[in-house]
Amino acid sequence: MNWIVQLFTEHSVAHSLVVITLIIAVGLTLSHIKLGHINLGVTWILFAGIAAGQMGLTIDAQTALFVKEFGLILFIYSIGIEVGPRFFAAFRSGGLLLNGLAALIVVMGCAITLLIGHLTHTSPVAMVGVLYGAATNTPGLGAAQQTFADLSNGETNVLFAQGYAVAYPLGVIGIILSITLLRIFFRIDIDRENALYRKNADRNGINLQRRLDSEMGEKTHQPNLFFIFIGIMLGVILGVLPLKVPGIAMPIKIGLAGGPLIVSILLTYFGPKLHINTYTTESANLMIRQIGISMFMAAVGLGAGQGFIQAIVNGGYLWVIYGVVITMVPLLLVGAIARWGCKLSYFTIAGLISGATTDPPALAYSNDICGGSQASIAYTTVYPLSMFLRVLTAQLMVLLTCV
C-alpha cells in the first residue's frame, strides 16, 4: 500500500496528474450547485484548488506552471475563435454605440480600482485580482498573472488569485443585482419595452446582428485542427516577442494571454475572406475552452490555497466590499447613461451589462426577465471587444501598478 501514499505525497508526473484531475473533478461536481439564477460554474474548481492548497497538497512547481499557462492558452485561444468572425464587424452602425458604452464600463472599473487602491493603500496585486473577480473575468486574471511573471523574472504572486476568489461570488451577484436595480429605478414595463425595442432596431443592435449572421459564411462539421495548433504556436511567438514602447525603459511583451487571443481573432476573421478554412465546430471549441479553463483554475487555486485564510483574516475581507463597488458603480452609471442619454431599451441595457462583464449567468437572468432572447443581441455585439479590453487592461494595470 506504500505506492498509494507515495502517489499522493511524493512529487512526480503521476502525482501532479492525480492532484490536478482530482481538483477538477471535485470542482465540476460542485459546479452543479445553483441558487436561483446564480451559478458559479467552473469557478468551483478554483475554490476546490484553494481548499486543496490550504490542506497542504502541492505539485511540482514547473508542472504547475505548465498546467496553468497551457490551460490559459487553450482557454484564451478558444475565446478568440468564437469572437473573431464578429470582432471588427461589431463596430458598424448599431454596434459602435453599444461597444462604446461597454468600453466605458471596462475603463470605469479600472479607474475605480486604482482609486480604491490609492485611498486604502491596498496591495496593487490584490486590487487587480479583486478587479477581475468583481468583473467575473478569468482571462483578465490570467493575463495579469502572466504579465507580472514576465516582468518579474518568472515570479508569481498568490494575491492575484486570492483577490479574485474573494471578489468573484459577489461579482456574479452584483451584476445581476445591478440589472434588477435598473429595472426598479426606471419602472420598466415589459410590454412598453418590447415596443421601444422593435422601434429602435438599429440602435439596439438588431439590424447589425442580422448582417453579422448573414456574413458568417459556410460552415462545416469538421474542425480544422491544423489552424488551431499553428495559431497557438504563432500566438506564443507573438506573446513572447519583446516590443519597445516609447517612455518605458524595458521592452514589454503581449504575453501568453494576449498573443494567442490576437492571432485567433485575426485567423478566424481573415481566414474565410482569403478562402482559408479556419472554422472550428462549436462543440470542439467548447471542449477546448472547458479543458483549458479547468486546468488553469485548478493550478491557480492550488497555488493560492496556502495562506488563503490568513490573507482573508488579515484584511482580505475588505476586498469583498471593494469588489462590490467595482462591480456595481460602473454598471449602474453606464446603465443610467444608456437609458437617459441614449434612449436604449432596457433589454439592450441588460444585454450590454452582461456582455461588458462577459458573464453568461447575467445573460441567462436578463433573457429570463425579458421573456425572450432580446438581451442576447446586445451581449453578442459587445462581447468580443469587452473580452479583448479585459485582457488588454489587465496587462496595463500590472504595468502601471504592480511592477
230-239, 327-336, 387-396: which range is least confident on average? 387-396
Residue 124 confidence class, pLDDT cut points 50, 70, 90? very high
Residue 401 confidence class, pLDDT cut points 50, 70, 90? confident
Residue 146 confidence class, pLDDT cut points 50, 70, 90? confident
DSSP label at residue 35: B
Residue 37 confidence class, pLDDT cut points 50, 70, 90? low
**Three cell numbers at 275?**
478562402
For residues 338 and 242, the model is more confident at: 338
Q: What is the mean pLDDT of the chain?
A: 81
341-370 pLDDT, tens digit per residue, is 888 888 889 989 988 998 777 776 777 777
For residues 141 and 201, the model is more confident at: 141
- Structure confidence at residue 105 (pLDDT): 97
- Structure confidence at residue 305 (pLDDT): 76
Strand partners, 89: none
- Structure confidence at residue 202 (pLDDT): 55
How far CA 33 is from CA of 29, 80, 99, 105, in Å, comes to 8, 29, 33, 29
Residue 91 confidence class, pLDDT cut points 50, 70, 90? low
Nearest CA to 300 among 80, 81, 75? Answer: 75
> Most confidently modeled of 77-91, 96-110, 239-253, 304-318?
96-110
**Three cell numbers at 283?**
462543440
Q: Which residues are CB-contacts of 138 (< 8 A; sequence separation ≥ 6)? A: 43, 75, 132, 293, 296, 297
User: Vertex 40, ends 36 and 42: CA angle to 5°?
Assistant: 140
Residue 90 confidence class, pLDDT cut points 50, 70, 90? low
The full DSSP string for 298-362 is HHHHHHHHTTHHHHIIIIITHHHHHHHHHHHHHHHHHHHIIIIIT---HHHHHHHHHHHTT-HHH
The dihedrals phi and psi of 78, each to the nearest 5 degrees, come to: -65, -35
What burial class does residue 62 get, using C-beta atoms within 10 Å of its C-beta: 0-12 exposed, 13-18 middle, 19+ buried?
Answer: exposed
- Structure confidence at residue 201 (pLDDT): 55
| Helix, strand, or coil (residue 188) | coil
Burial 106-126 (b: 16+ CB within 10 A, else e): bebbbebbbebbeeeebbbbb
User: Vertex 24, ends 20 and 29: CA angle to 5°?
Assistant: 150
Q: How far apart are CA 343 and CA 330, in angstroms?
A: 18
Average the pLDDT over 169-190 and give the result: 86
- Structure confidence at residue 58 (pLDDT): 85
Q: How far apart are CA 153 and CA 151, in angstroms?
A: 6
CB 75, CB 292: distance < 8 Å: yes
Nearest CA to 378 among 206, 215, 186? Answer: 206
Nearest CA to 155 among 30, 65, 59, 23? Answer: 65
Q: Helical H runs in 121-224?
A: 124-134, 138-151, 159-185, 190-199, 206-214
13-30 helix and 43-54 helix, angle to the nearest 10 degrees: 130
Q: How far apart are CA 94 and CA 86, in angstroms?
A: 14
The full DSSP string for 40-93 is -TTHHHHHHHHHHHHTT----HHHHHHHHHHHHHHHHHHHHHHHHHHHTGGGST
Q: Which amino acid is present at 273? A: K
Q: For the chain, what are the domain ranges? A: 2-212+225-402
